[in-house]
Amino acid sequence: MPSLCAKLPSRLPFVVVLSLGIILAAEIAAIGFLVPFTFPSYIANLARPSFLSYIGDLLPFLIAAPLVSLLVGLSGWWLIIERSGRITKRRGIVVGVLGGITAHPLIWTFLALFSQPSVFGDVGPTPDLLQNIRLVITYSLLSLIFAGWITAPVGGIAGALLIRCQRAYIGVSRDED
């Protein structure tokens, strides 16, 4: 079975659209989660000099979400859709929902590895490996509870729309579901 890399030159326009769709869906989900939970604090800090530092605290999430989602989304797309050769809306929705769910622990892992310790709040001195693992597990579970309700549906909708794009790109008119 040919790999995605072997098909890449002929599918490059769709891979670009797929990547942009994944990044856009990740940002929509991240902003959709962050805005309702941070809006009251945003308004409270608007007139204070620390306002810019408040916005800077959200930046790691807005960078980690699309990077991790791109990794998860492209891998899932290749495993579930490209490798099987079955381009169905159901598979697109499954890839999107699974991507929206599996991205949570990976985003927190990414933040634990590459961000300043302040992402996890005031946890004392620089956390050690075991404390980072506990924080990643705790924050992953909390973010799944509080944000999974938006990341899973956004991923599912994005997966279905990207299936429509792929079907239009390859010229298939009706769904096999």
Asked whether residue 2 is domain-assigned, the answer is no
Residue 114 lies in a domain: yes
In single-letter form, the type of residue at position 107 comes to I
In a domain, 164, yes or no: yes
Give the least confident one: 9-13, 93-97, 161-165. 9-13
Q: Mean per-residue pLDDT for 59-83?
A: 91
Average pLDDT over the chain reads 80
Q: Give alpha helix (H) positions in 78-177.
A: 89-114, 129-170
What does the pLDDT look like over 100-124, one tens digit per residue?
999 999 998 888 887 655 555 555 5
CA 1 → CA 4, 15, 108, 169, 176, distances in Å?
10, 19, 34, 21, 21
Measured in whole angstroms, how far is the alpha carbon of residue 15 from the centre of its chain?
A: 17
Q: Which domain holds residue 107?
A: 11-170
Question: What pLDDT, on the 0 to 100 scale, is given for residue 117?
Answer: 55
Residue 46: its pLDDT value, please? 59
Residue 87 inside a domain? The answer is yes
Residue 101 lies in a domain: yes
Tell whether 4 is covered by a domain: no
Q: Is residue 125 part of a domain?
A: yes
Q: How many domains does the chain have?
A: 1
